[in-house]
Structure 1
């Protein structure tokens, strides 16, 4: 059986570092359980929104959001392991390119 929770935990740790918050930050959304069960898209967009300034950043963020928009509100189990890995890797890559 695939353990999708490991990806949610990894993403939670990344997001906590970006937002400098504890588990449960951002109204309880920065939490592996919440991420696994439907808030992955929301928390990713939330952390990108703080960098949504300047043409380069807005273009990168817009392209990334458009590429994952179909997963808004979906549980990780609905998305699948390979796609989740790709989303998280792409998110980290996009975030690292932001100014």
Structure 2
């Protein structure tokens, strides 16, 4: 994540974002091996356009890193994605501190 969420709206936002089961499946699918969108789409039986949208969102939040690679056969350009390590712990103390900010 691009820094830990510090305010209640930021905490609610990341929890809502990660509350989507398909996004979590995508993170799990690329947690140990980088893959490109078509591979993820076929593996999870989610449409490729939706996988691409989710990957871009995950990348924006810093949960996924995309790497462009050129290939000798079509498609000549592929973007591979891999989940980035993160840890987010929610406690009452975290909520209390966020309320005060």
Give TM-score, length-normalised by structure 2: 0.35
Give TM-score, length-normalised by structure 1: 0.35
Q: Which structure is higher in strand share?
A: 2
In terms of Rg, which structure is larger?
2
